[in-house]
Amino acid sequence: MRNGATSESRLARAVIMAIGLGFFGLFLLMPLLVVFAQALAGGIGAYLDAIVEPDALAAIRLTLLVAAISVPANIVFGIAAAWAITKFDFPGKSILITFIDLPFSVSPVVSGLIYVLLFGAQGWLGPWLAEHDIQIIFAVPGMVLATIFVTFPFVARELIPLMAEQGRDDEEAALSLGATGWQTFWHATLPNIRWGLLYGVLLCNARAMGEFGAVSVVSGHIRGETNTMPLHVEILYNEYNFIAAFAVASLLALLALVTLVLKSLLEWRYDYHGKGTGH
């Protein structure tokens, strides 16, 4: 049955859909189900025990702490970088645009190693830090730094095209009406970028909580102290404690699902507003 240049035969359509759905089921849906199935394999009681266990709680707390520090830091950096790139012309601008993507293109292990090289005992700043009794590597500050590094592009990348498209008119209008720099940002810039910003924050948060490689290098894996959830999952798994490992992993999977739902909602909102059809 052919009724147009782009219409495929029924068979071809079926095959294409089967391939798409098959891959989705095999590589996305099934693993997700396995996570929850394994987590609940010992019953609800064992599942809850694994989650309220002190080391697991410590890992959850640390994950939330790292995200609570690195996400706001990235909001500030992201807005500042996007602002600088889109609203001003300055030397080195194109280099900045290129390097904002660096954390995406480099292996997370390297991201972690950078900080070991900088702040580790044998690193450049190591002796000075030891002298002043400041510990960064194998401690929370190092993990926060590594997380900020790997999540750096999320907010900035979301905002740069948005702010570039919007230009400087709104800001200049606010300034010409007597607004201060802060009022201009608050009343003219932020409302225009809020949905894009939220979107970036959401992705940034998901990555901050889920980051493994970079954090693993600088963590030191001290149970109850420097383990985030992904690291905790790995340790439990290596100890053949599958139920506990999958129980904690299921929390991360839940986070992913919540993120996806919020992301879809935001995209819907974003589109709706992007078309300029009002409120």
Partner 1 sequence: MSIRLDTIGKSFGGFTALGDINLEIEPGEFLALLGPSGSGKTTLLRIVAGLEFPDHGRVFYDGEDITDLKVADRGVGFVFQHYALFRHMTVADNVAFGLTIRKRRDRPAKAEIRDRVQKLLDLVQLGQLGNRYPAQLSGGQRQRVALARALAIEPRLLLLDEPFGALDARVRKDLRRWLRELHDRMGLTSIFVTHDQDEALELADRVVVMDHGVIEQVATPQQIYDEPASAFVFDFVGESNQVPVTVDGDRVIAFDRLLDVPPATLAGMGGAARLFFRPHDAEIVGEGANGLAATVTLVRPNSGSMRVEGKLEGSDRLVEIDVAQGAAPGQGERIFVRPTRAKLYAGTAG
Identify which of 219, 225, 233 has the alpha carbon closest to the alpha carbon of residue 142: 219
Per-residue contact string for residues 185-224; x = within reach of partner 1 by CB under 8 A: --xx--xx--------------------------------
Residue whose CB is less far from partner 1, 87 or 223: 87
Structure tokens at 78: 């992201």
The residue with tokens 């991201």 is 111
Could you tell me the smallest distance in angstroms from the CB atom of residue 186 to partner 1?
9
Sole binder of partner 1 in the list 172, 239, 267, 271 (CB under 8 A):
172
- Nearer of residues 152 and 195 to partner 1, judged by Cβ: 195
Do the Cβ atoms of 51 and 247 come closer than 8 Å?
yes
Structure-block tokens of residue 181:
């720099």
Place of tokens 């309220």: 52
How far apart are CB 221 and partner 1 at their closest, in Å? Answer: 47
Cβ proximity of 174 and 69 under 8 Å? no
When the beta carbons of 182 and 240 are compared against partner 1, the nearer one is 182
Contact flag: residue 279 with partner 1 (CB under 8 A): yes
Q: Which of 52, 76, 173, 258 binds partner 1 (CB under 8 A)?
A: 173
Query: Is residue 117 part of the contact set for partner 1 (CB under 8 A)?
Result: no
Q: How many residues bind partner 1 (CB under 8 A)?
A: 20
- The three-class DSSP label of residue 168 is coil
Q: Is 56 buried (19+), middle (13-18) or exposed (0-12) by CB count in 10 A?
A: buried
Residue nearer to partner 1 on the CB measure, 74 or 184: 184
CA atoms within 13 A on the CB side of 203: 20
**Interface residues with partner 1 (CB under 8 A)?**
169-170, 172-180, 183, 187-188, 191-192, 276-279
